[in-house]
Amino acid sequence: MTSFMVPTSAPLLDHAGVEAARLVRAGREGLVSGHPSVTYALLADARGQREASVRQWVRRLRLAGRLCTVDWGGVTLIPSFQFDEAYEPVAEVADVVERLTRSGMSGWATWRWFAVTNPWVDERPAALVAAGDFGRLGAAADALLADSGE
């Protein structure tokens, strides 16, 4: 029996992909730990409704692109910037969320857009919402979408 050597090579490990996933996870952890959100149960309590009704209501708004949600560890989180003090959707925010969603942004990307300082208005869009400055909020969305060719 003849033996022969089979050359071995090092496996091609995806270090860049793993690092990119780590950075995405860290960014998402920053959003969920640093920016308010609600679950279906909390939203139902705030609105005085049954959780099943709230789930259906959120689903309809999300499918229409007018509400962003994210899944985190098996729980659906709904970023609070989208609601007024009575947890009713803010129409001007829903309009912007719809535009961002229509342009292809995910729930995570939309939440991040609202949470970080926007270079076109030098403010976080979520802070503009809190201040009721919907003109500048729209301008920030316009600038983003114009840059992306929308």
Residue 87 DSSP label: S
Any idea what the Cα angle at residue 33 is, between residues 111 and 82, rounded to 5°? Answer: 35
The amino acid at residue 67 is L
Task: Please state the pTM of the whole predicted model.
Answer: 0.85
Q: Each residue of 1-46: pLDDT tens digit?
A: 677 777 678 888 888 888 988 898 898 999 999 999 999 999 999 9
Given this model, what pLDDT does residue 8 score?
78
Predicted confidence at residue 36, as pLDDT, reads: 96
- Residue 37's H or E segment, with its range, is strand 37-38
CA dihedral 103, 105, 106, 108 (to 10 degrees): -150
Cβ atoms of 97 and 67 within 8 Å: the answer is yes
What is the rounded distance in angstroms from the CA atom of residue 91 to the CA atom of residue 97? 10
pLDDT tens digits, one per residue of 89-147 = 999 999 999 999 999 999 999 999 999 999 989 999 999 999 999 999 999 999 999 97
